[in-house]
Amino acid sequence: MPRTVVVTGASSGIGRAAAVALARGGDEVILLGRDPRRLAGAVEAVREAAGRTPAAHQADFAVLDDVRSAGERIAAEHERIHVLVNNAGLLTAVRPLTADGFDPTMQINHLAGFLLTHLLLPRLRAAATPAAPAAPARIVTTSSAAEAWGALDPDRPGRRQYSRWLAYGASKQANILFTVEAARRWAPTGVIPACYFPGLIRSGFGRSSPSFSAARLAPGLFRTPEEGADTLLWLATSPTPPHPGGYYAWRAPFRATPRSTSPSRAARLWQSSLTAVGLPA
Spatial strand order of the sheet with 246-249 comes to 55-58, 28-33, 4-7, 83-86, 137-142, 191-196, 246-249, 252-253
Distance, in Å, from the CA atom of 108 to the CA atom of 279, rounded to the nearest integer, reads 17
DSSP the chain: ---EEEESSTTSHHHHHHHHHHHHTT-EEEEEES-HHHHHHHHHHHHHHHSSPPEEEE--TTSHHHHHHHHHHHHHH-S--SEEEE---------PPPTTSS-HHHIIIIIHHHHHHHHHHHHHHHHHSSS-TTS-EEEEEE--GGGGG----TT-TT---S-HHHHHHHHHHHHHHHHHHHHHHHGGGTEEEEEE----B-SSTTTT-HHHHHHTTSTTTSB-HHHHTHHHHHHHH-SSPPPTTEEEETTEE----HHHH-HHHHHHHHHHHHHHHT---
Burial, 19: exposed, middle or buried (Cβ in 10 Å; 0-12, 13-18, 19+)?
A: buried
168, 196, 247, 248: the catalytic one is 168
Active-site annotation holds for 248: no
Give catalytic residues, as residue numbers: 168
